[in-house]
Structure 1
Amino acid sequence: MSSDESSDGLEELKDLMAVYAKNGNRQPAARENRKKAAVPETSYVEVPMEKVIFGDKQKFLSNLAKSVGKKWNHSDDEDAADGKNDAEQSSSKRKAAWTDSDDDDIQLGDVKRPTRYTGPLTHLRKDKSYKEYLTARFQHTLNQPKWAEKQQNEDSGSSSDEELLKTVGFIDHKAKKRELRPKTLNFKRVKDLNRATYCEGFVTSVQFHPTSTAALVAGENSLATIYTVDGQKNEKLHSMRFKNYPLLCSRIAPCGTKAFFGSVRSHFYAYDLLEAKESKLYLPGDIRSMHRFEVSPCGKYIAVAGKFGSVHLLTANTNELLHSFKQEGAVRGLAWTADSKRVLCCGSSCNINILSLRQNIIEHYFIDDGCINGQCVQLAPNQRLLATGSNEGVVNVYDYESIFASKTPTPEKRFMNLRTAITDLKFNHSSELLALSSNLAPNAVKLAHFPSATVYSNFPDQNDNVSFVNTMAFSPQSSFLAFATKSKKVPLFRLKYFKGY
Structure 2
Amino acid sequence: MQYDLEKGSVMQLELPKCIPRQNAGRFAMSSDGSLLAMIAHSAQVNVLSSSTMEVIITFSAPADVTSLQFLPGSNRELWAMTECGEVVIWNLSGSQHVFRDDGAVLGTKIRLSTEGDKVACGSNTGIVNLYDTGDVRNCVDPKPQTVVTNLLTSCDSIAFNHDGQLMAFSSNTKENQVKLLNVASGTVFSNYPRQHEKMSYVECVEFSPHSGFMGIGCSNGQLILDRLNYFEHY
TM-score tier (shorter)? over 0.9
Match of 1:356 in 2: 91
Match of 1:291 in 2: 25
Say whether residues 1:408 and 2:141 are aligned partners.
Answer: yes
Say whether residues 1:272 and 2:4 are aligned partners.
Answer: yes
Match of 1:323 in 2: 57
Match of 1:389 in 2: 122
TM-superposed CA distance for 1:280, in Å, is 2.2
2:79 maps to which of 341, 344, 356 = 344
TM-superposed CA distance for 1:394, in Å, is 0.8
Cα deviation 1:184-213 (Å, max 9, x = unaligned): xxxxxxxxxxxxxxxxxxxxxxxxxxxxxx
2:45 maps to which of 311, 314, 320 = 311
SS at match of 1:282: coil
Match of 2:35 in 1: 301
SS at match of 2:38: strand
1:421 maps to which of 150, 154, 162 = 154
SS at match of 2:13: strand
Q: Is the 8 A contact 1:466 1:483 kept in 2?
A: no
SS at match of 1:402: helix
TM-superposed CA distance for 1:294, in Å, is 1.1
TM-superposed CA distance for 1:491, in Å, is 1.1
Q: What one-letter code is carried by the residue in structure 2 that aligns with 1:326?
A: S
Q: What one-letter code is carried by the residue in structure 2 that aligns with 1:335?
A: Q
Q: Is the 8 A contact 1:344 1:355 kept in 2?
A: yes
Distance 1:360 1:277 in 2: 36
Distance 1:275 1:480 in 2: 24
TM-superposed CA distance for 1:403, in Å, is 0.9
Q: What one-letter code is carried by the residue in structure 1 that aligns with 2:3?
A: Y
Distance 2:223 2:134 in 1: 36
SS at match of 1:329: coil
CA RMSD in angstroms comes to 1.2
TM-superposed CA distance for 1:316, in Å, is 1.0
TM-superposed CA distance for 1:393, in Å, is 1.1
Cα deviation 1:97-117 (Å, max 9, x = unaligned): xxxxxxxxxxxxxxxxxxxxx
**Higher RCO, 1 vs 2 (CA within 8 Å, ≥6 residues apart):** 1
Q: What one-letter code is carried by the residue in structure 2 that aligns with 1:348?
A: E
Cα deviation 1:227-264 (Å, max 9, x = unaligned): xxxxxxxxxxxxxxxxxxxxxxxxxxxxxxxxxxxxxx
TM-superposed CA distance for 1:437, in Å, is 0.3
TM-superposed CA distance for 1:324, in Å, is 0.8
Distance 2:2 2:101 in 1: 35
Q: What one-letter code is carried by the residue in structure 1 that aligns with 2:98?
A: Y
Say whether residues 1:480 and 2:213 are aligned partners.
Answer: yes
Identify unmatched segments of 5+ residues in structure 1. Answer: 1-268
Match of 1:398 in 2: 131
Answer 1 or 2: which has greater helix percent: 1
Distance 1:380 1:281 in 2: 29
TM-superposed CA distance for 1:271, in Å, is 2.8
TM-superposed CA distance for 1:279, in Å, is 2.2
Cα deviation 1:42-84 (Å, max 9, x = unaligned): xxxxxxxxxxxxxxxxxxxxxxxxxxxxxxxxxxxxxxxxxxx
Say whether residues 1:495 and 2:231 are aligned partners.
Answer: no
TM-superposed CA distance for 1:383, in Å, is 1.7
Q: Is the 8 A contact 2:28 2:37 kept in 1?
A: yes
SS at match of 1:498: coil
Match of 1:369 in 2: 102
Match of 2:13 in 1: 281
Answer 1 or 2: which has greater strand percent: 2
Q: Is the 8 A contact 1:314 1:321 kept in 2?
A: yes
Cα deviation 1:309-331 (Å, max 9, x = unaligned): 11110111111111111112221
TM-superposed CA distance for 1:272, in Å, is 2.9
Distance 1:282 1:340 in 2: 22
Aligned residues: 231
Q: Greater Rg, structure 1 or structure 2?
A: 1
Runs of 4+ in structure 1 over 6 Å off:
none
Distance 2:6 2:159 in 1: 28
Cα deviation 1:122-179 (Å, max 9, x = unaligned): xxxxxxxxxxxxxxxxxxxxxxxxxxxxxxxxxxxxxxxxxxxxxxxxxxxxxxxxxx
Q: Is the 8 A contact 2:29 2:69 kept in 1?
A: no
Equivalent positions of 1:441-480 (< 5 A) are: 441-480=174-213
1:436 maps to which of 166, 169, 174 = 169
Identify unmatched segments of 5+ residues in structure 2. Answer: none
